[in-house]
Amino acid sequence: MIGYTVIAPDMRGYGDSEKPEGGYDAYMLAEDFHQLIAQLGFKQIYIAAHDMGAPPALIYAGEHPDEVLKLAYLAEPVLLEQHLQQIFQFAPDTLAKGGLWWWTFSLTKGLPETLIAGHEREFLTYFYNTYCYDPASIEATAIDEYLRTFAAPGGISGALGVYRAIFETIKQTEPFAQHKIQTPILALDGDKSMGERVKTMLESVATNVRGGAMERCGHFIPDERPDELTDRLLKFFDEV
């Protein structure tokens, strides 16, 4: 097995990263990481990206094919217009849960901040309780750490920034439907989430896609199945 240096930065708007007013489209987020990697002195990298970190990672791979050797794309739709209906009906019971309401909810600037403030824990734990195969897999210490920055000044607006930039991100992703990404991609999601559909969506924008559904797993793959995910990533990255 090859050894790896692991870099796990907080994306713009999240954790301890800055939370500016704008710049949350996938291209800008990809450029944030590209500049970080350049400053750290790395020439070629592997990327593992989950949820709303995955669209910027896809842009990164498409814009810098000589730099990104492989990409693991986890638990996130591919943001193309042709997928929008499928995105909003990604699981049989999604509509019963209110659909992807937080995507459109975020577009009303200011109102989400007002409604969430003071209820940050309830807001976050709703997603873990609803979209995990086993909600207990999200440890209490992890939730406390997420809340440390989410409930801090600017935390709510920063976290919602990626959703407010979704339509710009769709425009940035569309060209890859015509000029597909050549980077090898591992597409994974839980069988209680979108499952195989992540892989199918990625085949719209990339030529070399493998992966599928992880059993007994919901949306939060790194928390729910960390050992299996690590094994799959190492196997994928180690392959010549």
Q: What is the pLDDT of residue 1?
A: 58
One-letter amino acid identity for 92?
A: P
Per-residue pLDDT of the chain (240 residues; tens, 9 = 90+): 568 999 999 999 999 999 999 999 999 999 999 999 999 999 999 999 999 999 999 999 999 999 999 999 999 999 998 777 666 655 445 444 556 789 889 999 899 999 999 999 999 999 999 999 999 999 999 999 999 999 999 999 999 999 999 999 999 999 999 999 999 999 999 999 989 999 999 999 999 999 999 999 999 999 999 999 999 999 999 998
- C-alpha distances out from residue 220 to 52, 106, 163, 225, 240, Å: 12, 20, 18, 8, 28
**213 strand-pairing partners:** 189
Q: In this structure, are strands 68-74 and 45-50 parallel, antiparallel, or unpaired?
A: parallel
Structure confidence at residue 96 (pLDDT):
47
Q: What is the reported pTM?
A: 0.94
CA nearest 45: which of 6, 18, 98? 6
Q: What is the 8-class DSSP label of residue 77?
A: -
Q: Are 130 and 220 in contact (CB under 8 A)?
A: no
Dihedral-angle region of residue 16 (phi above 0 means left; psi in -120 to 50 means alpha; beta otherwise): alpha
Q: Note the pLDDT of residue 86.
A: 63
Instruction: Please give the pLDDT value at position 179.
Output: 96
Question: Whole-angstrom Cα distance, residue 209 to residue 75?
Answer: 14
User: What's the pLDDT score for residue 101?
Assistant: 84
What pLDDT was estimated at residue 83? 74
